[in-house]
């Protein structure tokens, strides 16, 4: 696939013109969603036979990065929507068409286990509340995890995933976040809703219906690489905007302070160089790991850990671009209607994901 054709300059400008609006309103406009639908960007992990556009992980990560470089909200929603295709490996085959066939098909939900479920004739009854359900504003279905007593041993519970229709849920618009405000990452509540047995499944069980290489790739690592690609893309957008601000203010900066423009541009270029090195290492590590995975190699835990660490490193370097550049760009950037202000906050919000945070002093020191 020729991914540059997905995001030509006209598309880039169309979406970026909406950046401040999306940040202010907390919603994604219909014309931006239409770009996603037209390019089947929610179907990157769906088999072609199921109206998908199955894409190898290294390629789709670059799509996530490019989408996030255009706009963080756009990239986040594209990524979350695509990752929902991973569940196709576990969904009952006769339900695949209902769940994934629509051009606007999007499964929103939460990775957290919450609520309560009980077995009833024909299925389950589910209640509970789940936070951070990205894409909830325009989801066609919702997925939630909850513990259920094992059928033949009620003293033991299993974590089961439930698929519900929009009419079965209540969305509480409480995503008043620092950034990524248009991702619709609201809380969703379910009250005593019946879920058919074949609209539930257990992830990672031994009866996994593998449809392609992506479905046997560890979901945690898939999530880490996806979120790291978002951080990389947003950081590149921040550098784009920083350069534009420096050029726009060059004359004023040079007249008020002899070295200000040169100082800021040098700082931008050095941070860009550091970011590009981290990006190169990120893709080298992931591409190599993916190649070994599809070849059926017996991948040791240490190699998976290296991929995870590389994701965290890339995200920390991306976040440092914001810390290192934002203070030097002038007073106007603190205003929320300034594009780089939106990008800066989106970058922080994306990197707040726990999968990208190194909870280890030694690793933090290495990143610095």
Single residue among 154, 175, 201 that ends a domain in this structure: 201
The model's pTM is: 0.94
Q: Looking at the predicted structure, is the pLDDT value of residue 368 above 70?
A: no
Distance, in Å, from the CA atom of 177 to the CA atom of 26, rounded to the nearest integer, reads 9
Range of 106-110, 202-206, 234-238 with top mean pLDDT? 234-238
Residue in the block written with tokens 């020191």: 365
The rounded percent of the chain whose pLDDT value lies above 70 is 95
In the 8-state DSSP scheme, what is residue 9? H
- Write the pLDDT tens digit of every residue in 39-92: 999 999 887 655 667 889 999 999 999 999 999 999 999 999 999 888 888 888
101 belongs to a structural domain: no
Single residue among 155, 174, 201 that ends a domain in this structure: 201
Distance, in Å, from the CA atom of 307 to the CA atom of 61, rounded to the nearest integer, reads 14
- Write the pLDDT tens digit of every residue in 119-135: 999 999 999 999 999 99
Residues whose CB is less than 8 angstroms from the CB of residue 155 and which lie 6 or more positions away in sequence, other chains included: 149
**Is the same domain home to 38 and 148?**
no
Residue in the block written with tokens 């031994």: 206
The CATH number of residue 264's host domain is 1.20.140.10
Question: Residues 115, 174, 232, CA angle at the centre, nearest 5°?
Answer: 95
- Whether the CB-CB separation of 41 and 81 falls below 8 Å is answered with yes
The CATH number of residue 81's host domain is 1.10.540.10
Single residue among 88, 120, 150 that ends a domain in this structure: 88
Closest by CA position to 234, among listed 308, 313, 321: 321
**Is the same domain home to 229 and 263?**
yes
Distance, in Å, from the CA atom of 204 to the CA atom of 83, rounded to the nearest integer, reads 15
**Is the same domain home to 228 and 342?**
yes
The predicted model gives 283-306 an average pLDDT of: 96
The predicted model gives 94-119 an average pLDDT of: 91
Long-range (24+ apart) CB contacts under 8 A made by 261-270 are 263/328, 264/328, 264/329, 267/324, 267/325, 267/328, 268/239, 268/242, 268/243, 268/325
- Of 103-117, 207-221, 222-236, give the lowest mean pLDDT range: 207-221
**Is the same domain home to 141 and 50?**
no
Residues whose CB is less than 8 angstroms from the CB of residue 29 and which lie 6 or more positions away in sequence, other chains included: 18, 21, 22
- Write the pLDDT tens digit of every residue in 347-359: 999 999 999 999 9
State how far the alpha carbon of 218 is from the alpha carbons of 43, 154, 206, 312, in Å.
Answer: 19, 29, 14, 17
Q: Give the burial class of 184: count Cβ atoms within 10 A of its Cβ; 0-12 exposed, 13-18 middle, 19 or more buried.
A: buried
21 belongs to a structural domain: yes
**Is the same domain home to 166 and 34?**
no
Distance, in Å, from the CA atom of 84 to the CA atom of 269, rounded to the nearest integer, reads 37
The residue range of the domain holding 262 is 217-367
- Whether the CB-CB separation of 40 and 53 falls below 8 Å is answered with yes
- Can you give the pLDDT at residue 367? 67
- How many domains would you assign to the chain? 3
94 belongs to a structural domain: no
256 belongs to a structural domain: yes
**Is the same domain home to 229 and 363?**
yes
Sign of the CA dihedral 15, 16, 19, 20?
negative
**Is the same domain home to 239 and 359?**
yes
**Is the same domain home to 236 and 363?**
yes
The count of other CB atoms within 10 Å of the CB of residue 19 is: 22
- Can you give the pLDDT at residue 257? 77
């Amino acid at each position: 696939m020729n991914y540059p054709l997905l995001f030509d300059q006209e598309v880039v400008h169309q979406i970026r013109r909406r950046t401040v609006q999306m940040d202010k309103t907390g919603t994604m406009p219909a014309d931006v969603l239409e770009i996603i639908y037209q390019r089947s960007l929610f179907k990157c992990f769906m088999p072609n036979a199921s109206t998908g556009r199955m894409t190898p992980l290294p390629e789709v990560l670059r799509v996530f990065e490019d989408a996030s470089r255009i706009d963080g909200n756009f990239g986040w929603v594209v990524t979350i929507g695509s990752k929902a295709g991973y569940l196709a490996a576990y969904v009952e085959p006769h339900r695949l068409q209902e769940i994934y066939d629509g051009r606007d098909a999007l499964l929103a939900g939460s990775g957290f286990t919450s609520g309560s479920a009980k077995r009833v004739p024909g299925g389950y009854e589910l209640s509970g509340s789940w936070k951070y359900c990205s894409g909830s504003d325009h989801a066609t279905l919702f997925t939630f995890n909850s513990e259920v007593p094992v059928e033949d041993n009620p003293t033991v519970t299993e974590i089961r995933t439930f698929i519900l229709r929009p009419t079965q849920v209540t969305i509480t618009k409480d995503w008043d976040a620092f950034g990524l405000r248009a991702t619709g990452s609201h809380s969703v509540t379910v009250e005593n809703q019946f879920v058919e047995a074949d609209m539930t499944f257990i992830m990672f069980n031994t009866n996994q219906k593998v449809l392609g290489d992506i479905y046997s790739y560890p979901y945690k690592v898939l999530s880490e690489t996806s979120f790291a690609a978002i951080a990389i893309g947003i950081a590149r957008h921040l550098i784009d905007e920083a350069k534009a601000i420096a050029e726009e203010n060059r004359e004023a900066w040079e007249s008020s302070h002899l070295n200000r423009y040169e100082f800021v541009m040098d700082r931008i270029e050095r941070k860009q160089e550091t970011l590009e090195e981290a990006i190169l290492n990120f893709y080298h590590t992931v591409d190599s790991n993916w190649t070994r995975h599809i070849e059926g190699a017996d991948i040791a835990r240490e190699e998976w850990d290296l991929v995870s660490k590389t994701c965290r490193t890339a995200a920390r370097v991306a976040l440092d671009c914001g810390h290192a550049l934002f203070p030097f760009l002038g007073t106007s950037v603190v205003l929320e209607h300034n594009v780089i202000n939106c990008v800066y906050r989106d970058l922080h919000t994306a990197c707040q994901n726990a999968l990208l945070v190194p909870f280890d002093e030694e690793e933090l020191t290495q990143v610095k």
